[in-house]
Amino acid sequence: MCSGRERGPSRSALGPDSASPSERTWRSALPTDRCGPRVGYGSGVIDHLVFATSDLGRAVDDVAARCGVRPTIGGNHVGWGTRNALLSLGPSVYFEVIGPDEDALPTVGRGRPFGIDEQHPDRLAAWAWRVDDVDRARARLLEAGHDPGPVMAMDRERPDGSRIGWRLTVPPMDGVAVVPFLIQWEPGVHPAEASPAGCRLESLRVEHPRPSDVAAAFPALDIDVPVERGITPRLLATLATPNGDQEFC
């Protein structure tokens, strides 16, 4: 886990003119209250960040202590053997803490996603890019030379008994997915609207030993998130929280 130290006032708190050109560019990937989501078959917005853990209860406690807002249980993923807790990062973007559902095993022949069964340290394992036509967006990625995997339908029951459904490209079983998986929600209340508020996604960047390989896939979906050279594939997100800026990776 990245350091949880406070990082001082965020750039957004200092006003829009203080942001660097690269920061202003990546912020166009965020949903906005004023304009609404920028979605489409070839474009989209950041939907959520996936923070994977082998112990959901402990990870929720850690995130709550760092951020000053406690993620609440979202529900179980039938067939995947996972359960999640959610924290809103704005009107339509959220932070998902996902770990094993101790009462359910994954479908035979398929382990839990995001390397959850491998006992990795808690980490940002993936991120989702929201589109309004997942099949066409997937086709665009294939044309760009990146295979995001097949599209599948999923749903889960919320704590209030209602159901929420979505279609997505199959997320990775292990490793850190620096290219986002795609997600298309069915009509209804977005998870960010039903999750505890008080935090905001301040920045997101990608690191990879071969940044050009990663960046080559991004133009197909108009993804403007910065890609930098790093020793290993890594996602780094800064959240503005009641406890100051917190970095997760």
> Quick check: 39 and 63 in contact, CB under 8 A?
no
pLDDT of amino acid 206: 97
Give the largest CA-CA distance in the chain: 53
CA-angle at 29, arms to 24 and 35, nearest 5°: 95
Contact 127, 50 (CB under 8 A): yes
User: Which pLDDT score is estimated for 2?
Assistant: 66
What is d(CA 78, CA 154) in angstroms, rounded to the nearest whole number?
9
Q: How far is Cα 167 from Cα 97, in angstroms, rounded to an integer?
A: 19
| Contact (Cβ atoms closer than 8 angstroms) between residue 51 and residue 123 | yes
Amino acid at position 237, single letter: A
Strands 72-77, 82-88: pairing is antiparallel
Q: Which of 32-46, 148-162, 208-222: highest mean pLDDT?
A: 208-222
Contact 54, 100 (CB under 8 A): yes
Do residues 111 and 117 lie in contact, with contact meaning Cβ atoms separated by under 8 Å? yes
pTM (2 d.p.): 0.83
pLDDT at 44: 82
The class of domain 12-248 in CATH terms is alpha beta
Integer Cα distance of 82 and 228 in angstroms = 31
Q: What is the mean pLDDT of residues 145-154?
A: 92
DSSP state of 195: S
> What local confidence, expressed as pLDDT, does residue 173 receive?
77
Q: For residue range 177-200, list pLDDT tens digits in order.
A: 999 999 999 998 999 999 999 999
Evaluate the CA torsion angle 22, 133, 93, 38 in order and state its sign.
Answer: positive
Look at residue 108 in the predicted model and tell me its pLDDT: 58
pLDDT band for 245, please (50, 70, 90 cuts).
very high
With bands split at pLDDT 50, 70 and 90, how would you rate the model's confidence at 159?
A: confident
**Domain residue spans of the chain:** 12-248
Mean pLDDT across 231-249: 97
Give the pLDDT band (50/70/90) at residue 14.
very low
Calculate the average pLDDT of the chain. 83
pLDDT of residue 31: 53
Predicted confidence (pLDDT) per residue in 19-55, tens digit: 343 443 444 455 543 323 333 333 589 999 999 999 9
- How many CB atoms are located within 10 Å of the residue 135 CB? 13
Which has more confidence, 102 or 206?
206
- Summarised one tens digit per residue, pLDDT across range 63-112 is 999 999 999 999 888 888 899 999 999 989 999 999 998 888 777 567 88
Query: Mind giving me the DSSP string for 149-163?
Result: --EEEEEEE-TTS-E
Q: What's the pLDDT band for 143 if we cut at 50, 70, 90?
A: very high
In the chain, pLDDT over 90 holds for what percent of residues?
61
